[in-house]
Structure 1
Amino acid sequence: MSRMLVDKEAIRALADILTDTGLTEIEVSEGDSRLRVARNVTVQAAAPAAAAAPAPAAASAAPASGDAAAPADPSSHPGAVPSPMVGVAYLTPDPSSPPFVQEGTQVSAGQTIMLIEAMKTFNQIKAPRAGKLVRYCVASGEPVEFGATLAIIE
């Protein structure tokens, strides 16, 4: 019977990242080794409060845009840009700079539209196609999960 070695410091470091960022899980792999740390979060109490706060904004934005379906599920939009990783999104290169791209601006394929910080490394998120960046779906400093919609490019 072989005994698996567990790096308790790595587990603690990943757990600290989960706590600091508000994420629910994180996974790291190196060679044949994989380490995944996840935590259960009860969102039943937080969900009504979170749903109540954006509802007035969504309701007021729907008549102005004329497209009530867009705010409901941006991931189903054909121009959705999904997050390639778990981390914290940043729309600017640093806090005192303007965003990489303003909403409503044309972008070219491969142009940096934001950063995602993961494990203290800033990863450039590039536009997968040319088009108009219609909307950011995340705020700067907001934690994002893998596959979450970051922006819409039409």
Structure 2
Amino acid sequence: MSNDTTNGKHHEGDVAFIQSLAELLNASELSEISVKREYGEHDRLTVSLSKHARQAVAAAPMQMAAPAAAPAPGAPAAPAAPAAAGSEDPASLPGAVTSPMVGTAYLSAEPGAAPFVQIGQTVAEGETLLIVEAMKTMNHIPAPRACTVRRILVDDGSPVEFGAPLMVVE
């Protein structure tokens, strides 16, 4: 159903585009996709897709975290520690540093470079812990206070959601 006959041709392409976005959302760890397109005076496409799986991602690490844990040999031991301690959500741990946005986490300034921080390292307030890239913008995530890095909860290059725990510091 289009508003005028000139949009009829775009309608089928738009439906296919939206279906491919939905498939991308389901196949990835993304929680939201938003697209805005405006060409002419009356030609406009605004799409916003989201899946409300934030709790499912945190509560079911076996489904989402297992593939990401395979490349990092130390990662399987880290999720086992909070489960054994009775803490279901790393974001609820004291000293959890969470993502302020949806994006991609990077542990170093560029591929092959040394990571910003390592487990056990003491950092000053405001020192960069990692970067979250969102919309081609590199957002430095600073240490909230002078602290020691206790756990790194994300892999380099992994997608993160708003509020997702990135590191635990104390």
**TM-score normalised by L of structure 1:** 0.65
Distance verdict in 2 for CA 1:20–1:61, change over 3 Å: closer
Correspondence 1:98 to 2:105: no
Identify which of 36, 51, 57 aligns with 2:76: 57
**Is this contact kept in 2: 1:21–1:88, CA < 8 A?**
no
Distance verdict in 2 for CA 1:128–1:38, change over 3 Å: same
Structure 1 partner of 2:169: 153
Structure 1, gaps ≥5 residues long: 29-33
Amino acid at match of 1:111: E
How far is the alpha carbon of 1:94 from its aligned partner?
A: 0.6
**Is this contact kept in 1: 2:29–2:64, CA < 8 A?**
no
Structure 2 partner of 1:31: none
Correspondence 1:137 to 2:115: no
Distance verdict in 2 for CA 1:20–1:116, change over 3 Å: farther
Identify which of 23, 30, 47 aligns with 1:23: 30
Structure 1 partner of 2:50: 38
- Partner Cα separation in structure 2 for residue 120 and residue 146 of structure 1: 16
Return structure 1 stretches of 4+ with deviation > 4 angstroms.
Answer: 15-21, 46-54, 59-62
Correspondence 1:109 to 2:121: no
1:63-88 deviations in Å (ceiling 9; x for gaps): xx9x9328743111110001100000
Identity percentage of aligned residues: 45
How far is the alpha carbon of 1:120 from its aligned partner?
A: 1.1
RMSD value over aligned CA atoms? Answer: 4.1
19-28 or 100-109, which deviates more: 19-28
How far is the alpha carbon of 1:22 from its aligned partner?
A: 3.8
Structure 1 partner of 2:95: 79
1:68-126 deviations in Å (ceiling 9; x for gaps): 32874311111000110000000010111010011110011110110011111111111
Aligned length: 133
More relative contact order, 1 or 2 (CA 8 Å, 6+ apart): 1
**TM-score normalised by L of structure 2:** 0.60
- Partner Cα separation in structure 1 for residue 152 and residue 62 of structure 2: 23
Distance verdict in 2 for CA 1:21–1:117, change over 3 Å: farther
Structure 1 partner of 2:42: none
